[in-house]
Chains A and B, each alone.
Chain A
């Protein structure tokens, strides 16, 4: 049991430096819950592909504290996120907003899919069905056909 506890303690100590840093100040569980949610949508500007909740970067730790302080002071999720985008731009958001200059980003997959389905259907469709009707016989062909027919037994 003691061994288990020690192992557990060591594991926690190794895996959660972020928790250790956040532990400098503790906040109300309700604040903490909102802050985690906000923090997960904010990108760590140092490490880029982690949210500030996941990142061990010192700046991310300070951002976590700032988010918690602002929420504890009564700010809403949107206000805190607006504070960050005001300073770091949309870059600080894990999910880019849907707006004029991101239309291509958001709609390109949809457009590509529609285009792909269209191309696929166009490929499957009996190509140019109208063209499959044989062209009318030329006079030469009519004559040739008549010759052949005349040779046949009735």
Chain B
């Protein structure tokens, strides 16, 4: 009596899917894991700035104190400058203050301050307490300029080229590292550009 062939040979397996289909879930898992690996390592607070390469918005800022010069749009034309948004209420601004003081003293670049959402007296008191690193300062008490600049928090620092265009936005304090690796090289580069 002849033996029966094994069932698997006589009847193909019930599944219509080819063998490689077993890898589909693995591939799906890898794709999902890839998305997570990318998404979860991004900073959800980091926002792309839409203001890069656009001209500095027109602004009309109040003087910090009557004896100080007003900051105007004209100040930003003809030389590379930094516009630093700060406030007496802003704790990280104290952090970057020593670096700003050094930048202001060095004369490497024109340094302007925008005292944001601050009663002018508070801003002036803050500058008296820590020292005033700015060549000129304006007060933006109702966020008019801040919103126009797409500011989301303080401190933020804008690098303005000779033509008065925004070329870079530094979000967060200017640490010595940020200064030497990012801002200073960029300022040197912008200074080399024709106006």
Contact = CB atoms under 8 A, between A and B. Distances in A.
Interface of A: 45-46, 48, 58-59, 62-63, 65-66, 85-89, 91, 127-128, 131-132, 134-135, 138, 140-141, 143-144, 147
A128 B44 CA distance: 47
Interface residues of B, number: 30
A46 B5 contact: no
A48 B44 CA distance: 9
Interface of B: 1-2, 4-5, 10-16, 44-45, 47-51, 117, 142-144, 146-153
A140 B10 CA distance: 13
B152 A45 contact: yes
Contact of A63 (B15, B50, B143): B143
Nearest to A131: B12
Contact of B2 (A48, A59, A144): A144
A63 B149 CA distance: 13
Nearest to A61: B143
Contacts, number: 71
A127 B1 CA distance: 34
B16 A48 contact: no
Given A87-B50, A128-B15, A135 B10 contact: yes
Contacts of A62: 117, 142-144, 146-147
A138 B3 CA distance: 12
Nearest to A84: B147
Contacts of A128: 12, 14-16
Nearest to B49: A89
A143 B5 CA distance: 14
Given A63-B147, A88-B50, A138-B5, A131 B117 contact: no
Nearest to A63: B147
Given A59-B152, A140-B2, A66 B48 contact: no
B11 A131 contact: yes
Contacts of B146: 59, 62
A146 to B, nearest CB: 12
B16 A131 contact: yes
Nearest to A119: B24
A42 B165 CA distance: 27
